[in-house]
Amino acid sequence: MTRTRLFSLAAATALAVSACSKDSAPAGSDADNPLLAYAPADTEYVVANLAPPPEEVLNAWLARAEPLLDEIQQMLTQARADLSSGQVDSDDEELVNLALAVIDELDGKINREGLESIGLSMRSYQAIYADELLPVFRVALSDPDALRATIGRVEEKAGMVIPEYVVDDRAYWHIANEEWPVSIALAIVEDHLAASVLPANTAGESTPQLRRLLGLDMPATSFADGDALASLNAENGYTAYGSGYLDTARVVETIYTTGTAPNNLLGYAMGTPVESTDPACRADADRISTAMPRMITGVTELTADSSSNESRIELAPDIAAGLAALVADVPPAADDDSLFASLSLNVNVGRLRAWALERLEAYRANPFGCPALQDLNLSVDQLYTQLNQPVMPFIGNLKGLRLQLADLGDLSGLSTGDFDLANLAGLASLEVESPQMLVGMAKMMIPGFDQLDLEPGGDPVELPQELMTVVTPEFAAHAVMSRDAIGLSFGKDQSGQLVDFLEEDNDPDGVVFSAEYDTASLMELQNSSLEAYAAETGNDTSAELMRAYEAMMGRTRVEVIYDDRGIRFRQHQTFR
């Protein structure tokens, strides 16, 4: 067995457990998650849920994931055999013994009842937040005593002891390595598991961060005392099943505050206190945080059959407004389950070039002063010079492109090179302000293009053989021109849809890029390629596990939106 299989096993287990927290919910209340009482209200970043998933949704996901969980169990069995027989390429006997002990504890427990029997919960509250920028993770347990007993059995079977210390009658495990700049602390605090990164060489010391991790010192004002996450959810359409933010101004402030963990770590790495660096560096850091004050994220929909989430990079108003003005009028990717894939790019290239030159020129007039950012200044100068070169007129007329691929049918041939390109079928368009200009240039530059009689509003014209990449009796390609696009159909029975395709006028509503695709078919293509590679090389690809995952997947849609608040990323996933 290779390390690849061990990694796949760990990743798949995490996926199977995390995938069970899916449903839609209202915005919630910060006080509903008891773990947020430990999170300071002024933390630099936080991600947490304000409600656990409903029982019926959890059951639906467990039923869907049963084949995947069965494959994970089989991988555990194989992993134990490989480790016991010495097939793992590791010289670390202690690590092998630990892996065997963990596998022994998980054996037969890759299901809800089994995981809950060792103390874990599939309907838990969770919280990740910063304590002086260092991450703190808390997750509620179904049975704290059961988890402690499980850890004890793992230690006994592995023949090792995880260093344990006690501060004010509260025990914790401390994991460190002399080569690490930090250490890891874990503890069972009342009814949950808590973990954090701490400064190195602090084992057994009652440091402020450790005391906060153990709940010995609580924040003066915590998230549970306010409604920061609930308000974030309500303002952005997020549900209670996961949301958070990163505040860049607080990050900068913490780094430059004497005595904080990141301040000390950076000072140690640089060999000089952060405060003694060039004052221009702090000014530049503040300038960056002003331009990009916050990043937010949240789950917008979680049901038994689908999930959606959004993230946003909040930008300064002038930057956001400039980006929003770049969006053209190209329709977004088609929402059509019959298609293999569709995508759309929607940006006015002429306006993009002008806006970029304007922003770069303003930056060049006021470059960063920090010595560490001088390479960035040089890159800006080079980019400005490149963009300021004359360009062909049609470049400024470009608005985007669209592509639709019909169902490709049997994809197995793609992995062996036997796929017939004549099976490809779909529609494409190049969106431009003046398609006549582009056609005129193409007639002068592309052999055979002058034979096309393309006129705005005309009927589709079949492409001559000189322009065909695939030449078979079954494969056909047609082109047509509208008032602001040149369209192309390829494959059987596609030309009749071409005119309607170009005439679509769906409002993009700020969507600058969008794509939708059949996730299962794409994974089928990937898995077929991996299986072919494994058959040729003998490498393990955990094919059965990936096939089980493939069987769960439906369709994926991703969108990037420019609006008056910044850049928004949206993803929707369906499941079978």
The angle subtended at Cα 548 by Cα 545 and Cα 552, nearest 5°, is 140
Give the mean pLDDT of 340-357: 96
Q: Helices (DSSP H) in 89-140: which residue ranges?
A: 93-106, 112-117
Q: List the one residue out of 277, 465, 442 whose CA is nearest residue 371.
A: 277
Residue 2 or 358, more confident: 358
Please write the tens of the pLDDT for every residue from 487-497.
999 887 888 89
User: Quick one: what percent of the chain has pLDDT higher than 90?
Assistant: 59
Confidence of residue 7 (pLDDT cuts 50, 70, 90): very low
What is d(CA 211, CA 204) in angstroms, rounded to the nearest whole number? 11
> How is 364-430 classified by DSSP, letter by letter?
HHS----GGGHHHHHHHHHHHHHHTS---HHHHHEEEEEEEEE-----GGGGTT---GGG--EEEEE
Residue 18 pLDDT greater than 60, yes or no: no
Residue 45 or 85, more confident: 45
The angle subtended at Cα 71 by Cα 69 and Cα 77, nearest 5°, is 110
Predicted local confidence at residue 88, as pLDDT: 64
| 252-271 exposure pattern, b = at least 16 Cβ within 10 A, e = fewer | bbbbbeeebbbbebbbeeee
Strand 485-490, strand 511-518: pairing: unpaired
Residue 562 or 414, more confident: 562
What is d(CA 373, CA 383) in angstroms, rounded to the nearest whole number? 16
Please write the tens of the pLDDT for every residue from 76-121.
888 888 888 776 666 678 888 888 999 999 999 999 999 999 999 9
What is d(CA 415, CA 418) in angstroms, rounded to the nearest whole number? 8
Query: Can you name the residues that pair with 197 across neighbouring β-strands?
Result: 184
Please write the tens of the pLDDT for every residue from 234-292.
999 999 999 999 999 999 999 999 888 888 878 877 888 888 889 999 999 999 999 99
The overall average pLDDT reported for the chain is 87
**Between the CA of residue 516 and those of 226, 281, 341, 479, what are the distances in Å?**
39, 42, 6, 24
Residue 462 or 193, more confident: 193
What is d(CA 502, CA 43) in angstroms, rounded to the nearest whole number? 50
Give the mean pLDDT of 322-329: 97
Residue 509 pLDDT greater than 50, yes or no: yes
Contact predicate 452/438, CB 8 Å = no
- CA quadruple 27, 33, 37, 42: dihedral sign: negative
Contact predicate 567/296, CB 8 Å = no
Three-class SS of 83-95? HHCCCCCCCCHHH
> How is 142-204 classified by DSSP, letter by letter?
S-HHHHHHHHHHHHHHHT----EEEETTEEEEEE--TT-SEEEEEEEETTEEEEEEEESS-TT
- Hey, is 310 helix, strand or coil? strand
Predicted local confidence at residue 439, as pLDDT: 79
Residue 140 or 278, more confident: 140
Residue 76 or 563, more confident: 563
**Whole-prediction pTM:** 0.87
Predicted local confidence at residue 28, as pLDDT: 80
